[in-house]
Amino acid sequence: MSKMLKKWDPDRRCYDPYECPDDWKVCGLAFDMDAQINCACCGKQISYGDGYTSREIYDSSGMFGMCICQDCNEAQWEREKKRRTNE
């Protein structure tokens, strides 16, 4: 089983289905900054308060960016910078 989220495709300007394993604890919003969750991108366990809001992976409604780790956040920024320089 897997959880269905959405992943933004900036080239096509639409969401694609994005699956993460059911045993991953992913979220876009938490009130406990110490909550242990998984990065919605790579699955690494992190504290919610140490996470970043993804600009690519969203909840099933497409409204809230999911929490990701620092490494995945930096990779997303690099992809975004590359796209902007190629426009």
Provide the pairing of β-strand 52-58 with 65-68: antiparallel
Phi-psi group of 13: left, alpha or beta (phi > 0 → left; psi -120 to 50 → alpha; rest → beta): left
Per-residue pLDDT of the chain (87 residues; tens, 9 = 90+): 568 999 999 889 999 999 999 999 999 999 999 999 999 999 999 999 999 999 999 999 889 999 999 999 999 999 999 988 886
Tokens encoding 51: 């996470």
